[in-house]
Amino acid sequence: MIDRRLVVPVLVASLWLTSCRRDPPPAATPAPAPPTDDAAARRADSIARARADSIARAQAEAARLAGERERAMAALRATLEEMVFFDYDQSDITPDAERVLRRKVEILQRSTAVRLRVEGHADERGSTEYNIALGTRRAESVRQFFTGFGLAADRFAILSYGEERPLVNETNEAAWARNRRAQFVITDGANQIVP
């Protein structure tokens, strides 16, 4: 038989031991091993490759943008240098010439540093003096067209070659039509064209 006197002290001791029991400390996670020389070298190589790839991508993008800008600038220069043609013995701006000149006006309004020389030409018919005067009238009519859009007249020098510099050296209507023209030379600001 169990002695009742012992039950109470045993019960109290059991409760006391149970309440004093602590949870075991968590298992310690091992500290990462210091990287070996191979691992450090692989990581350094990986970082170097990533940097090199980033630099190469940035350089390729810069080259692409520079190429696009150069193509755009070349197209704008070509527009500014595009010739306009005139009817026989006329210095009035034709509708076709007006379309070309309006494209030039848009560029010239944005690109205030650009200066042009307008060269007037004539076909071989007529005297040398008459054709020089006709070339001058043609160049002047182009300059007046530009100034009508608010562009300063001093941005445009005019020069007449008359019949002296034919575009086509033939004696027929097709050749004469090509020789009755105004040509444009960018004299200043070619690298300052604003797209």
- C-alpha pair distances (Å), 31 with each of 36, 42, 116: 14, 21, 76
Q: How far apart are CA 154 and CA 167, in angstroms?
A: 27
Report the pLDDT value the prediction gives residue 50, as an integer from 0 to 100: 87
- Beta-ladder partners of 9: none
Task: Give the N- to C-terminal CA distance of the chain in Å, as an integer.
Answer: 110
Domains of the chain (ranges, CATH numbers) = 67-192 (3.30.1330.60)
Is the pTM higher than 0.75? The answer reads: no
pLDDT at 154: 97
Measured N-to-C along each axis, helices 95-110 and 128-147 cross at an angle, to the nearest 10 degrees, of 50
Q: State the pLDDT at residue 114.
A: 97
Along the 195 residues of the chain, how does pLDDT read in single tens digits? Answer: 566 676 667 767 676 666 665 666 666 666 666 656 788 888 888 888 888 888 988 888 888 888 888 899 999 999 999 999 999 999 999 999 999 999 999 999 999 999 999 999 999 999 999 999 999 999 999 999 999 999 999 999 999 999 999 999 999 999 999 999 999 999 999 999 988
Cβ(136)–Cβ(158) below 8 Å? yes
The pLDDT value given to residue 41:
83
Q: Which two tokens stand for residue 18?
A: 């149970």
Q: Give the per-residue pLDDT at 116.
A: 98
